[in-house]
Amino acid sequence: MKRISSLFFASLVAVASVAGEVNYEVIPLPCNIQLSEKGEVYSLSQGAVVTYASGNERMASVARLLADFLKVDADFVVVPQADVKKGASIQLILGLKQENQEAYTLTVDKRGIVIQGVTEEGVFRGIQTLRKAIGTEGGEQVSLPYVTIQDEPRFPYRGVMLDVARHYFPVDFIKQYIDVLALHGCNQLHWHLTDDQGWRFEVKSMPELAKKGSVRKQTVIGRNTGIYDGREYGGYYTQQECREIVEYAARRFVNVVPEIDLPGHMLGALHVYPELGCTGGPYEVWPIWGVSRDVLCAGNPKTIEFLKGVYDELCDVFPSKFIHIGGDESPRDRWKECPKCQAKMKELGLTSEAELQTYINKEMDSHLAAKGRTLIGWDETLEGGLSENAVVMSWRGIKGGIEAARQHHRVVMTPTSHCYIDYYQLKEQRIQPMAIGGYVPVSKVYGFEPTAELSTDEARYIMGAQVNLWTEYVGAPEHAMYMLLPRLDAISEVQWMLGEQKNFEAFKGRLPRMQTLYRKLGYKYCDKVE
């Protein structure tokens, strides 16, 4: 159980008096911070030595990342523990005994700084805390107050979604996005790779799919105004690039959950393979926003064959245990009129088109299960029943998530009401870049409780929470960062901290230090908080 000790509250005063210096009250706030009452400090100097458990390559990588993070004016020397004769300034070690695999301790005393984890992942969470505590101080020498920190995250799934289908974002930006997630203790990048407006994942056995499916002739201006920009728009990720991103993320202990949305949101693919649609097309990669009535034909055996081929390559590139099949917003009008779909329903003895979608979900579920993967779907996938193992992502409010938890499915909570960061974050719309509409301020995100309305037993099925960045109206990296920050700060405390320990006023007090770091790192953010 997490507890912030009374000593911690007593020490708040001491910390406030050295504002602008090292401060361990970072975002997300560690569970337990005990500052030494005597106010001693340890001086971390230029040329300091960082050691890691000898022979452990993952720890070596974590140590090098720490040296990179801290390298402002000071250079750090990274060496295996066994090679150090006189002791080190920062020691990264394993051997902590805790149930939570991401737990770590961070201690500063006269011997220096020690970060100890149950796993390398825990040590990585600890180096992020140290880095944020030092913030932008840098310089020849940094004075760190003596402290003992014990920390661990509340939820195992701490996600952020990025839609790269509506707008393509360069590989370097995806890496920066991963950096920002890792900075906030998030461990899942949900990567929405395909949609009506573009297919952005290379499938080697179907080379035309990404080549042609990624390109739309033009894009509507504003909110489906009927006026178009007249410019071709495209871009996709090669498998090599995806692997590079997966590897980059893994080094930062972020898992990439890829999503190929089915059976709707498929115009990118239908443009290339019109025979997979109920009407036979032709279809264009959509230049407008919204939900298309044209979806994959569920009665065509080639559809399942196509999907299995795509997912085979997807699983080959992405090692993620969780694979997202989408499943949201798939109108069934075409299926009602399609002889193939109706014949399939008859063959399977189905009485509704909803069950036809369940048939596809189940085909995908067993295909993924055979590869040792677990299906995640948006909450619509729950409608026709899901296999026991499948995970539900609740976006149309929390009702779907509650229902799923009661059916003993694992759940990720990401309701539009609290977690849609494509919505405006300030009341006054005209002072912000364009958003899809709505109003999800930082305070709303912060106030989200993922286990609300659930019994203790049911709450065990809530794996975590996620914010979603859809990009119909977000075309540039700086705009994406503006939408993300500081709502990411807010969700990171929802994901990391126990509900009763959260405090919005205290959170706002911690934010300026994070913003100083964002400025140093060149991250755009919204500087108003509502």
Residues interacting with Zn ion, by CB under 5 A? 278, 297, 299, 338, 340-341
107: nearest Cα among 145, 138, 60: 145
Of 328 and 353, nearer to ligand ACM (C-beta) is 328
Given ligand ACM, Zn ion, none, residue 338, with its beta carbon under 5 to 8 Å by kind, binds: Zn ion
Given Zn ion, ligand ACM, none, residue 278, with its beta carbon under 5 to 8 Å by kind, binds: Zn ion
Rg (CA), the chain: 24
d(CA 365, CA 362): 5
Contact characters 358-387, ligand ACM, x per CB under 6 A:
--------------------x---------
Given ligand ACM, Zn ion, none, residue 329, with its beta carbon under 5 to 8 Å by kind, binds: ligand ACM
Given ligand ACM, Zn ion, none, residue 380, with its beta carbon under 5 to 8 Å by kind, binds: none
CB of 279 to Zn ion, least distance (A): 8
Of 59 and 297, nearer to Zn ion (C-beta) is 297
As to burial, measured by CB atoms within 10 angstroms (0-12 exposed, 13-18 middle, 19+ buried), residue 100 is middle
What are the tokens at 198?
A: 């573009």
d(CA 11, CA 110): 19
Q: How many residues make contact with ligand ACM (CB under 6 A)?
A: 4
Of 251 and 340, nearer to Zn ion (C-beta) is 340
Largest CA distance in the chain: 80
Task: Pick the catalytic residue from 265, 271, 409, 418.
Answer: 265
CB of 196 to Zn ion, least distance (A): 17
Whether 278 contacts 345, CB under 8 Å: no
Secondary structure in 3-state letters for 315-365: HHHCCCCEEEEECCCCCCHHHHHCHHHHHHHHHHCCCCHHHHHHHHHHHHH
d(CA 450, CA 155): 10
CB of 326 to ligand ACM, least distance (A): 8
CB of 339 to ligand ACM, least distance (A): 29
Residue 391 CB partners (closer than 8 Å, separation 6+): 322, 374, 375, 376, 377, 409, 410, 411, 412, 463
CB of 38 to ligand ACM, least distance (A): 53
Given Zn ion, ligand ACM, none, residue 328, with its beta carbon under 5 to 8 Å by kind, binds: ligand ACM
Of 145 and 299, nearer to Zn ion (C-beta) is 299
CA atoms within 13 A on the CB side of 126: 34
Whether 496 contacts 402, CB under 8 Å: no
Of 60 and 390, nearer to ligand ACM (C-beta) is 390
Active site residue 493: no
Of 21 and 329, nearer to ligand ACM (C-beta) is 329
Which residue has the closest beta carbon to ligand ACM? Answer: 328
CB of 299 to Zn ion, least distance (A): 5
Given Zn ion, ligand ACM, none, residue 523, with its beta carbon under 5 to 8 Å by kind, binds: none
Give the torsion sign (CA, 171, 175, 180, 186).
positive
State the DSSP code for 420: B
Within positions 477 to 496, which residues make up the interface with ligand ACM, using CB under 6 A?
none
State the DSSP code for 6: H
Task: Pick the catalytic residue from 109, 329, 383, 403.
Answer: 329
CB of 432 to ligand ACM, least distance (A): 20
**C-alpha distances out from residue 84 to 79, 81, 89, 126, Å:** 7, 6, 11, 22
Active site residue 328: no
Active site residue 152: no
CB of 362 to ligand ACM, least distance (A): 20
Within positions 172 to 191, which residues make up the interface with ligand ACM, using CB under 6 A?
none
Give the torsion sign (CA, 484, 414, 412, 118).
positive
**C-alpha distances out from residue 378 to 142, 206, 262, Å:** 47, 26, 10
- Decide: helix, strand or coil at residue 266: coil
Whether 180 contacts 484, CB under 8 Å: yes
Of 322 and 507, nearer to ligand ACM (C-beta) is 322
Given Zn ion, ligand ACM, none, residue 117, with its beta carbon under 5 to 8 Å by kind, binds: none
Of 337 and 527, nearer to Zn ion (C-beta) is 337
Given Zn ion, ligand ACM, none, residue 341, with its beta carbon under 5 to 8 Å by kind, binds: Zn ion
CB atoms within 10 A of CB 366: 11
Whether 462 contacts 156, CB under 8 Å: no
d(CA 502, CA 27): 11
Of 345 and 484, nearer to ligand ACM (C-beta) is 484
Task: Pick the catalytic residue from 25, 102, 120, 195.
Answer: 195
Q: Which of 109, 121, 329, 449 binds ligand ACM (CB under 6 A)?
A: 329
Q: Which of 151, 163, 328, 353 binds ligand ACM (CB under 6 A)?
A: 328
Given Zn ion, ligand ACM, none, residue 297, with its beta carbon under 5 to 8 Å by kind, binds: Zn ion
Residue 473 makes contact with ligand ACM by CB under 6 A: no
Within positions 384 to 403, which residues make up the interface with ligand ACM, using CB under 6 A?
395
CA atoms within 13 A on the CB side of 395: 20
CB of 291 to ligand ACM, least distance (A): 8
- Decide: helix, strand or coil at residue 459: helix
Query: Which sequence positions are flagged as catalytic?
Result: 195, 265, 329
Which residues contact ligand ACM (rule: CB under 6 A)?
Answer: 328-329, 378, 395
